[in-house]
Structure 1
Amino acid sequence: MQQVTVLGTGILGSQIIFQSAYMGKDVVAYDVSDEILAALPHRWQTLEAHYREDLPDATQERLDRAVAHIRATSDLADAVREAEVIIEAIPEQLSMKQEVWGKVGALAAPEAIFCTNSSTFLPSDIAPFTGRPDRFLALHFANTIWKNNTAEVMGHPGTDPQVFERVAAFAEEIGMVPIRLHKEQPGYVLNSLLVPLLNAAADLWVRGVASIEDIDATWRIATGAPLGPFQIYDIVGMMTPYYLSKDSTDPVRKKFAERLKHDYIDQGRMGRDSGRGFYDYR
């Protein structure tokens, strides 16, 4: 599958776009407005710096070639018209995803394969809205995908097995290690392990048990992990944990969302890619 469309140019969407182009795919980057798309050149510059730092084969020539493989558009019909695989990476709001996939299903070519990068919702939550559930499944990437290069492939009971294997092969083609899930699992493998850690860290912080720095230091020192949970939050960015927590019935989760909004999002502290999050990276 050479023709790739990515819906959503946020932190992870941008990474999927750039990594696919870096591995030689022709990629259309879609977002809802030209104003949002105008920020993409800066995103490519940021990603180029990370690639140069982390990958020995990231020559300037290859990075320039990757950017040349990317085309941006705010016209959804134009974005999906020639796509062989469409990967959705929009905010974690189920109704929004269902609505977008309903539109895509009416516009995309019949042979196109549909993938959601949703970190929390099951493919079966979305598949009926696509109009072609047999060609729909999840392809979930870990943040900083150029080096944390797993891609979890998770179908639903109605996913065509041949489509599943084509997506696993596509994941390999763009430099990922495909992780095949044999049944639907909220949070896949990665987030089933990671989210309890992040939630526990948020709980400790909101309840005033320990500081952000000490929570992170405890995890790093005691386990040998390279990053603490709040450093991981900064890589993920503030919007995903905010969306996942703001409507929670758990008072601690709700308080966490309120503090994210007031102390970080409203102050432009959106995470590592913005230069500031829980930590200052400037």
Structure 2
Amino acid sequence: MTGITKVAVLGTGVLGSQIAFQTAYSGFDVAVYDINDEILAKAKDRFADLAETYKKSGVVGAADGKAMDALGRIRYSSDLADAVTDADLVIEAIPEVLKLKQATYEKLGAVAPEKTIFATNSSTLLPSEMKAFTGRPQKFLALHFANQVWKFNTAEVMGTTDTDPAVFDAVVTFAGEIGMVPIPIHKEKAGYVLNSLLVPFLNAATELAAGGYADPKDVDNVWRIATGAPLGPFQIYDIIGLNTPYNILSHGDAHAQGLAVWLKENYIDKGKLGVASGEGFYTYSK
């Protein structure tokens, strides 16, 4: 046991909502925070959709009322101090923009209880880039989930040189308690394990499409047929949502920034954000 019973999740986007729902599904009380009530209203619809997804996906117990019970353990707040009141653990899942995360941790550190552990779900940024802004570097680390957490249930745990080993161990244990397979990472690595493999793969696919070498669907076809993989890179893009890859590319070198521009002009600016918006590289029905 970790002593973690109350969890707050900051951010109700694609992955933030999944983390919050999986945590509530595992029996924890969860507060979700976002910047205004309009976004939270949309989040409620997202959580309802997740409950149905768990049922349709055959997640154990979902059809027997466990999914609906999880909804009852989630509360919503657009007030940061209220959201983290008495939280044992805060999981931050806001956009992949370093300055935004740093500013959020400054605010969080001022209102969260002294006992609270902070964990960033950042997919590529290093926790050491944020630790000074938390006010509690010994209680701060990264806890990174893969998209579709009910199915791809890894949780990468990565601390900094300041992270208390007991805090690290507690978060590893917590990850197991919510049905994840913990992947302890022994020292900091940008991209962790998953995205150290995934991001170069997606970037290579983007370069092929942006450079006019092959259409996205054909890139996906050759990858699936030639390797037996269930999904091609652009199908993966749509599941992730295009905003996060765009943010990552935008903070890369000049070549990466050029790919970001292509992604923005051809897809994001047209409202094609992936599965969540109903269209990305492919079109999806509700």
The answer to whether TM tops 0.5 is: yes
Distance 2:260 2:275 in 1: 18
Equivalent residues in 2 for 1:90-105, closer than 5 Å:
90-105=94-109
Compare 143-152 and 253-262 and name the one that shifted more: 253-262
Distance 1:244 1:117 in 2: 14
2:272 paired residue number: 269
1:81 paired residue number: 85
Distance 1:200 1:266 in 2: 22
Does the 8 Å contact 2:109/2:135 carry over to 1?
A: yes
3-state secondary structure, aligned to 2:62: coil
1:248 Cα shift?
3.6
2:45 paired residue number: 42
Which residue identity lines up with residue 177 of structure 1 in the other structure?
Answer: V
Distance 1:218 1:53 in 2: 30
2:225 paired residue number: 221
1:198 paired residue number: 202
Q: Structure 2 residue aligned with 1:137, among 136, 141, 157?
A: 141
1:44 Cα shift?
1.5
Which residue identity lines up with residue 141 of structure 2 in the other structure?
Answer: L
1:254 Cα shift?
2.5
Distance 2:262 2:39 in 1: 26
Distance 1:166 1:247 in 2: 32
Instruction: Specify whether residues 255 and 60 from structure 1 end up closer, same or farther in structure 2 by C-alpha distance, changes over 3 A only.
Output: farther
The C-alpha deviation readout for 1:35-87, integer Å capped at 9, x for no partner, is 11010221012212321122243115111100000001000010112110000
1:245 Cα shift?
1.8
Distance 1:50 1:231 in 2: 18
User: TM-score under structure 2 normalisation?
Assistant: 0.95
What percentage of aligned pairs have identical amino acids?
A: 56
Equivalent residues in 2 for 1:1-282, closer than 5 Å:
1-54=4-57, 55-59=59-63, 61-251=65-255, 253-282=256-285
The C-alpha deviation readout for 1:186-229, integer Å capped at 9, x for no partner, is 10110111111001001111101111011111111111111110
3-state secondary structure, aligned to 2:90: strand
1:247 Cα shift?
4.4
User: TM-score under structure 1 normalisation?
Assistant: 0.97
Distance 2:80 2:61 in 1: 34
Distance 1:232 1:111 in 2: 38
3-state secondary structure, aligned to 1:92: coil
Distance 1:281 1:57 in 2: 27
3-state secondary structure, aligned to 1:59: helix
3-state secondary structure, aligned to 2:156: strand
Distance 1:274 1:47 in 2: 15
Unaligned runs of 5+ in 1: none
Does the 8 Å contact 2:117/2:140 carry over to 1?
A: yes
Distance 1:232 1:82 in 2: 37
Which residue identity lines up with residue 75 of structure 1 in the other structure?
Answer: D
Distance 1:28 1:276 in 2: 30
Query: Paired residues, what number?
Result: 281
Distance 1:50 1:225 in 2: 23
1:261 Cα shift?
2.1
Which residue identity lines up with residue 12 of structure 2 in the other structure?
Answer: T
Unaligned runs of 5+ in 2: none
Which residue identity lines up with residue 23 of structure 1 in the other structure?
Answer: S
Does the 8 Å contact 1:216/1:231 carry over to 2?
A: yes
1:153 Cα shift?
0.4
Does the 8 Å contact 2:61/2:67 carry over to 1?
A: no
3-state secondary structure, aligned to 1:115: strand
Distance 1:66 1:49 in 2: 12
